[in-house]
A and B are shown apart, each in its own frame.
Chain A
Amino acid sequence: MQIGFKQGSSFLYRLNPLVKRGLAFVLIIFFSLAALEVSLLAGFLVCLLAMLLLARLPLRSIFFSIRRISLLLIIVGLVQGFKGDGFDLLAAFEGIIRILGVFFTAGVYLTISPQSELMYFWEIVFMPLEFFRLPARELALVMVIAVRFLPVMLTEIDRIRMAQIARGARLSGGFFSSAASLMPLMIPTLSQAIVKAEELAEAMEARGYRVSAARTRYHRFRFSFFDLIWVTLAGVIFVLTIVSRFSNFNFWC
């Protein structure tokens, strides 16, 4: 099961795309940097989960997807645990919570953000490039299409892999031998990617898309009072993170 947008209408879905992205960014910074006690970090993660439950997000499928990183979590736990003298269980737990928090935040962000919102975000990010007469909107579109096509291409690669194995291809081996043995997988995948790109380009042109044409926006994103509350909350979390990490007033850890 892959992480991707799932339909919903709860309060998290209705946030402005920039606020969503900003909030996700702040939470990732928080889980990566905040110098808080492990119990506070865990408590924060639990609160986050409770809020997501309230927002009726498909937590089960998000958990199902990020369980693929369980090996990473174990490694991080072991590395953190053995950092000092002997094994420090709390340090191991802290490492796991931080990684889990980062992946979970990213998973939730992707679950509540449809393609149009991702595109809007990239347009804003690339906007400074317009200053240099570079096509910001087109670059944003390229980014979004690339991200959207990943699952399609992964499915395609899997089908090609299975069919080539049935023909007798050996798609594994040492580093140098595998480069040659991967040809039955790599060449069809590349050629399929090119074919699909061309088909998509033609389909877009057939529906009226023209590079650098002046266009209006189908989805309009407004900034509401509700967004302001979340921006404030994100600001508080960000300040808390920075203060906890860089100030001397570390009375909470």
Chain B
Amino acid sequence: MKEFLQFEDLTISYGGHKVVTSLSGKFVPGKVNLVVGRAGSGKSSLLLTVAGFHKEFSGKIRDENGKFDPSGNFSLAFQNPESLFFNATAGDEVEFALRMRQLPESEIIDRARGWLLRWGLEPDQYYKIHPHELSGGEKRRLALAACTVFLPPLILLDEPLAGLDRRGQTSLATMLAEMAAKHIVVVVTHEPEIFIQNQSRILFLKEGRGDWFDGNEFLALSLKNSDFYPLPGWYERAMTNFTDRADLPEVNATAVAEFLKRAASNANRL
């Protein structure tokens, strides 16, 4: 497991035009690292630079061993990762990454079946099914399982929740949060509210600059100024009176209801 992935004065350009300037800071395991910002702010460019596919940059990308070497150390999935399917069965799709790493045959099947199960796809039911016969949410889980089965220390995902319904998004976000316990998971997203927890690490890219926030700071700033980042209206209305609190709840109805109940009982006690 990697301890961190650190940027030192990282500047990323495209054809001489700077998209990210002097970025410093680090991604860590434990919580999902979110990268947010408007279209064109350099989110995807940052992922491609970390993955070693984009070379037009200056500054350093380091891990605990020194200069970060991406080869074989990361998985990368773009929006609609299910477009990568090319095998006849879901099982073959998951096995592919393990075969490419020349693992023993018995280990390949065991790991592939175990990994499918981990992503909520019962192997007895899904292993021999053609990937395109699955539902949208199942396809997405299969695609992410196939991209991560070799357990890379760094997982880079570009808008992995796009196109899913809210239930599918929440369930996928939970799985990614679980993976973040042992991997550095970096997620580029336009829906950070699904992932944000108090200790989440958020890199906000705006006009070439990158600012780092923890979950509470990000929520508080967004509540005070919706131009900073627009949160769902119901959350803004429910939390209007609590913008200075250091324990803002996650953006989901249950967490907000519990928070409001606690706040009301505290007020009664006073």
Contacts and interface: CB of A to CB of B under 8 A. Distances in A.
Interface string B140-155: 0000001100100000
| Most chain B C-beta atoms within 10 Å of own C-beta, residue among A64, A183, A191 | A191
Contact of A188 (B51, B53, B83): B83
A162 B51 contact: yes
A147 interface: no
A168 B100 contact: yes
Contacts of B74: 166
| Most chain A C-beta atoms within 10 Å of own C-beta, residue among B15, B48, B53, B146 | B53
A188 B83 CA distance: 6
Q: Which secondary structure dominates where chain A touches chain B?
A: helix
B96 A64 contact: no
A191 B100 contact: no
B15 A192 contact: no
A168 B101 contact: yes
A242 interface: no
Contact of B84 (A64, A164, A170, A195): A164
A162 B96 CA distance: 15
Contact of B100 (A160, A167, A187): A167
A163 B15 contact: no
A184 B97 CA distance: 11
A170 B78 CA distance: 19
A169 to B, nearest CB: 6
A1 B15 contact: yes
Contacts of B85: 187-188, 191
B6 interface: no
A15 B85 CA distance: 47
A6 interface: no
A164 B76 CA distance: 8
A162 B74 CA distance: 11
A170 B102 CA distance: 13
Interface of A: 1, 64, 156, 159-160, 162-164, 166-170, 183-184, 186-188, 191-192, 195
26 contacts: A1-B15, A156-B83, A160-B83, A162-B51, A163-B77, A163-B81, A163-B84, A166-B51, A166-B74, A166-B75, A166-B77, A166-B156, A167-B75, A167-B84, A167-B96, A167-B97, A167-B146, A167-B147, A167-B150, A168-B72, A168-B96, A184-B86, A186-B86, A187-B86, A188-B83, A188-B86
